[in-house]
Amino acid sequence: MTLPRNSAMGASAEHKYPLADGGDLLPSLEDSALSHLKCNREHGGRIGARKSSASQPGTKTNQRKQFLREAQLTPAAPNLNPPKAPRMGGNGPTGPEYHQNGFALPRLETARPSRVLGSYGEEAADWCKEYMGLDLYGWQRYALDRALEYGEDGLLVWPLVIVTVGRQSGKSVLSRAVCMWRLHHAQHFGEPQTILHVANKRNTAMEVMRPAGLWAVNQYGKKAVKWGNTEAGIETPEGNRWLIHAANDNAGVGYSVSMAFLDESWRISKSTYMDAIAPTMAAKTSPQAWLVSTAGDSASDLMQTYRQAAIDAMGSDDPAASEILILEWSAPMDADPEDPTTWKWGSPEWSDKRENFLRQQWANVEISAFKRQYLNMWVAHADHWLKDSWWADTTSSDPLPTGGIWNIAVESDFDGMGHAVAIAASDDLGNIVVRVTTHRTMREVDSQIAKIRREHPSLYILVTPGYVDRLKERFDGLVGQREAAAGTQNLLDLFDRKAIKHDGSQTLLEHFGSSTISRRQQGWVLSAPMGRNGVYAARAVMFAAAQASKTPRPMAMVRSRRRA
């Protein structure tokens, strides 16, 4: 007999580890089970009742909180203090660093490499003021100056530019300025220019173009501008075009694009950019893509991927080799969101009007939305395993020990776009000193391991299974989910005892800040939340630190008694 699909005694798929207790949204077959539909619903009801009563005094917390409480490692809200480092604007959580012209400098900023000989930024800002009447803010001029840097051949240095700032700060004006400048300066690139402007909603891109379109009508006549639903944009008499497309699988397809401008890019998928937009720039001279946005959420895979890549490059051995420019005005994770001083981090142009507006928003907007929209903070989740004091208390300038074994761990990002090489070694006090570098290719990983081997020949190298047939350098062991479960417990213990010492790397900070501890078949494991990348440096440190924490077994000794 076949039961109806909605029968109480019919079969249904159930989580072995409930989603409400930290289980995966899409569990593996090992973490799934068959259950009667009635039983499945009853299980959910009991979990809901338990979670409801957990907030009452004297009741038990859910399974995850119970686990962490028993280990005396209760997670705190993520208040990670970004350490001072080269190429980072700002002077700590008390407030941003200011330019001599009065605007706040970016908190995260890629260094200006030695190959830069000049910039078209000043020319662009002056042209916009003279011809379009756009008098740019100081921060907008600064962004143009960095984004339009060129080398000795006169071509742009940065193929990819990321600009992220709080809402209502002037992103649209900056967008309009750079698009119109490039549209009218084809002589710098030796060929006609085509600008592709995309947004999640076509109306968003149209709103940016509209004032420029009205200006073009006055300059070139009505035929120069199209406002239609299927075709929209500006075309100059010389044949240079600014096109408006919606961010979908057909964006830019069939065009050869000089500049791609992705508006509110936190809403645009990575696949749209990689599969549809990026290929359109392959044949152009000095192509450039702009990702301009306010901070998004954990589903923003495009911004998360390239933002993380830019931050990783800031902490690499050769940051000048980066091809991604990031300019981010955002509040540090440990800044008080209620303090108006904190608000200045995400608002490069500050005024009494801006402060009054944000006071109104603070009183009416939910706190996570306020952080994302006005403090420009990428908030992955409300509760985090890393206490605010742990990072600061374990930051140290102690170098790696010169003696003993250096334990190396190699881990990759889930999409294969990044690799991390971590070093961990025990010092004379029993503390675990760690360092980590990030890399884009397997060749760089091999080169880094070879470099470490030259500096310290006594190594023990661990890799994840994906490196077995790809790594040229010799390794000593494999690590996987079972080792990750033990390594997670060890990492929590090291932070709790302040027995791990790191150099305050911005890359490691971001990777730890993006991580979560979730239930797997093998236990509780440090991993990335669904829809997020960028925790591979944290996992590499976890594996290396776990190996370094192992106590060597004493050697067996045989004693004999001799008669006199």
pLDDT band at 230 (very low <50, low <70, confident <90, very high): confident
List for the chain the helix, strand, coil content (%; round to 5): 40, 20, 45
Model pLDDT, residue 312: 79
pLDDT average, residue stretch 126-132: 94
Residue 477 in this model has a pLDDT that exceeds 60: yes
Measured CA to CA, the distance from residue 195 to residue 281 in angstroms comes to 10
pLDDT average, residue stretch 215-241: 91
**Residue the block writes with tokens 């250096």:** 406
What pLDDT, in 10s, does the model give residues 147-195?
Answer: 999 999 999 999 999 999 999 899 999 999 999 999 999 999 999 999 9
pLDDT average, residue stretch 136-142: 95
Measured CA to CA, the distance from residue 456 to residue 454 in angstroms comes to 6
Residue 23 in this model has a pLDDT that exceeds 70: no
305-308 long-range contacts, Cβ below 8 Å, gap at least 24?
Answer: 305/270, 305/415, 305/417, 305/533, 305/534, 306/160, 306/162, 307/162, 307/164, 307/378, 308/418, 308/510, 308/511, 308/514, 308/533, 308/534
The three-class DSSP label of residue 179 is helix
Residue with the bigger pLDDT between 366 and 278: it is 278
Residue 340 in this model has a pLDDT that exceeds 70: yes
What pLDDT, in 10s, does the model give residues 311-330?
Answer: 878 766 565 567 899 999 99
Residue 555 in this model has a pLDDT that exceeds 60: no
Measured CA to CA, the distance from residue 561 to residue 132 in angstroms comes to 99
* β-bridge pairing 516-520 and 225-227: unpaired
Residue 24 in this model has a pLDDT that exceeds 70: no
Please give the helix or strand (H or E) that residue 362 lies within, else none: helix 352-364
Residue 51 in this model has a pLDDT that exceeds 70: no
Please give the helix or strand (H or E) that residue 209 lies within, else none: helix 202-220
pLDDT average, residue stretch 376-405: 79
Residue 378 in this model has a pLDDT that exceeds 90: no
Measured CA to CA, the distance from residue 143 to residue 271 in angstroms comes to 27
Q: Residue 222 is encoded by which pair of tokens?
A: 């009505």
Residue 25 in this model has a pLDDT that exceeds 70: no
Residue 482 in this model has a pLDDT that exceeds 50: yes
Mean pLDDT of the chain: 81
Model pLDDT, residue 44: 55
Q: Do residues 236 and 224 lie in contact, with contact meaning Cβ atoms separated by under 8 Å?
A: yes
Residue 133 φ/ψ region, left for φ over 0, alpha for ψ in the -120 to 50 degree band, beta for the rest: left
Model pLDDT, residue 421: 94
Model pLDDT, residue 345: 93
Q: CATH classification of 388-549, choosing from 3.30.43.10, 3.30.420.240, 3.20.20.105, 1.10.10.1100?
A: 3.30.420.240
Domain boundary assignment for the chain:
11-70, 108-335+341-346, 388-549
Range of 7-11, 36-40, 455-459, 556-560 with top mean pLDDT: 455-459
pLDDT average, residue stretch 235-261: 90
Q: Do residues 423 and 452 lie in contact, with contact meaning Cβ atoms separated by under 8 Å?
A: yes
pLDDT band at 15 (very low <50, low <70, confident <90, very high): low
CB-side neighbour CA atoms (13 Å) of 460:
17
Q: Residue 8 is encoded by which pair of tokens?
A: 């109480």
CATH annotation of 108-335+341-346: 3.40.50.300
Measured CA to CA, the distance from residue 418 to residue 400 in angstroms comes to 24
Q: Which of 16-20, 150-154, 314-318, 554-558 has the lowest mean pLDDT?
A: 554-558
Residue 333 in this model has a pLDDT that exceeds 80: no
* β-bridge pairing 194-199 and 259-263: parallel
Model pLDDT, residue 90: 39
> How far is residue 351 from each of residues 205, 315, 332, 344, measured CA to CA in Å?
27, 34, 21, 10
What pLDDT, in 10s, does the model give residues 95-117?
Answer: 899 999 999 999 999 989 889 99
- Within the chain, what is the greatest distance between any pair of CA atoms? 117
Model pLDDT, residue 2: 61
What pLDDT, in 10s, does the model give residues 489-541?
Answer: 999 999 999 999 998 887 888 788 778 888 887 788 998 876 456 789 999 99
What pLDDT, in 10s, does the model give residues 261-298?
Answer: 999 888 888 888 998 999 999 999 999 999 998 886 55
pLDDT average, residue stretch 128-148: 94
pLDDT average, residue stretch 217-223: 93
Measured CA to CA, the distance from residue 225 to residue 242 in angstroms comes to 9
Residue with the bigger pLDDT between 468 and 406: it is 406
pLDDT average, residue stretch 213-228: 92
pLDDT band at 459 (very low <50, low <70, confident <90, very high): very high
Q: Do residues 292 and 171 lie in contact, with contact meaning Cβ atoms separated by under 8 Å?
A: yes
Measured CA to CA, the distance from residue 413 to residue 159 in angstroms comes to 23
Measured CA to CA, the distance from residue 140 to residue 122 in angstroms comes to 11
Could you tell me how far CA 374 lies from the centroid of its own chain? 18
Model pLDDT, residue 41: 59
Model pLDDT, residue 64: 35
Residue 560 in this model has a pLDDT that exceeds 90: no
Write down the H helix ranges in 22-62.
Answer: 37-54
